[in-house]
Amino acid sequence: MNRISRRKLITTALVSAGGAAGLGASGIIARRRGLIPPDAGGIWGPGETLTYAAQRLLTQHSLAREFTRAQISKPPFANEVYPLGDQFKKLQDASFIDWRLAVDGMVGNPTSFSLSDLHGMPMRSHITILACEEGWSYIAEWIGVPLSHVLHLAETLPQACYVVYRSFQDPDWWESIDMADALHPQTLLTLGMNSSELPVPFGGPLRMRVPRQLGYKSVKYITRLTVTDSLKQFGKGLGSSSPEAGYAWYAGI
């Protein structure tokens, strides 16, 4: 049996088992394949598991849709953020020269990078849509270092399952993604937008851009990455600040 038809079979089995047996059997299949999301425990848990497991089996390597330069939104819309405070302002006044991105957890080489270190790494860009769960969206060009490159430099261990990323606004804004999204070529530590530096309202100087998921996974002001095999010890153990606020951990679009 080739891979595609095997995948299709598993997904069909997941979905039909979910329909027929009230998600019990699909839960077992998903668990066996490591496809249980961290927020699977609540009342929406079985639905979250079904969505996440089915999407991962079908779309592990698929690309987010890319647009043309002519389709870039003018002007783009930046969602409001809580005040960033004096410490941020100090960093900003010094052109973010002291901004650091720490990388720790399940890595052979815990390290940290300045913005100029990141600017010296291979960059890629894509023109993709950022969609908020509240219904609005915009298209922009995002320029940055693939997260996979930084994970490689830090020597991510093979047991790694998730990357937790924290922002200057931690503990209000932190997220995590699985390795399928962390190593995905369109997942960028973003330094630039629409051919310029990434403006502060859009998350500058450093933003995670995860174009295969809703806007809230694209956390602004990134300061720290932690590689892990379990999300239990972070926050309330639900994988990110979003499920703590009532949103799904997995927000695939």
Q: How far apart, in Å, are the Cα atoms of 198 and each of 64, 102, 220, 239? A: 21, 19, 10, 27
Among 99, 173, 249, 250, binds ligand MTE (CB under 6 A): 173
Q: Which is nearer to Mo ion, 173 or 216 (CB)?
A: 216
- Smallest separation, CB 148 to ligand MTE (Å): 21
Q: Which is nearer to ligand MTE, 205 or 215 (CB)?
A: 215
Interatomic CA distance for residues 248 and 223, integer angstroms? 23
Q: Which is nearer to ligand MTE, 216 or 249 (CB)?
A: 216
The site partner of 173 among Mo ion, ligand MTE, none (C-beta below 5 to 8 Å per kind) is: ligand MTE
The site partner of 81 among ligand MTE, Mo ion, none (C-beta below 5 to 8 Å per kind) is: ligand MTE
Q: DSSP class of residue 125?
A: E
Q: Which residue ranges make up the site for Mo ion (CB under 5 A)?
A: 132, 215-216
- Smallest separation, CB 13 to Mo ion (Å): 34
Asked if residue 165 binds ligand MTE (CB under 6 A), the reply is: no
Q: Which is nearer to ligand MTE, 84 or 123 (CB)?
A: 84
Query: How far out from the chain centre does Cα 130 lie?
Result: 12
Asked if residue 215 binds ligand MTE (CB under 6 A), the reply is: yes
Q: Which residue is nearest to ligand MTE (CB)?
A: 215
Q: Are 252 and 213 in contact (CB under 8 A)?
A: yes
Sequence-distant (6+) residues with CB within 8 A of 215 are 79, 130, 131, 132, 133, 137
Interatomic CA distance for residues 147 and 79, integer angstroms? 24
Asked if residue 216 binds ligand MTE (CB under 6 A), the reply is: yes
The site partner of 198 among Mo ion, ligand MTE, none (C-beta below 5 to 8 Å per kind) is: none
Q: Which is nearer to Mo ion, 53 or 219 (CB)?
A: 219
Q: Are 138 and 76 in contact (CB under 8 A)?
A: yes
Bridge partners, 130 (sequence order):
138
Sequence-distant (6+) residues with CB within 8 A of 86 are none
Which two tokens mark 16?
């039909």
Interatomic CA distance for residues 208 and 215, integer angstroms? 10
Asked if residue 184 binds ligand MTE (CB under 6 A), the reply is: no
Sign of CA dihedral 118, 119, 121, 123: positive
Among 202, 234, 249, 250, binds ligand MTE (CB under 6 A): 202
Among 167, 213, 226, 240, binds ligand MTE (CB under 6 A): 167
Which two tokens mark 50?
């079904």
Q: Which is nearer to Mo ion, 166 or 217 (CB)?
A: 217
Range 103-132, binding ligand MTE (CB under 6 A): 130, 132
Binding region for ligand MTE (CB under 6 A): 77-79, 81, 130, 132, 167, 169, 173, 202, 215-216, 218-221
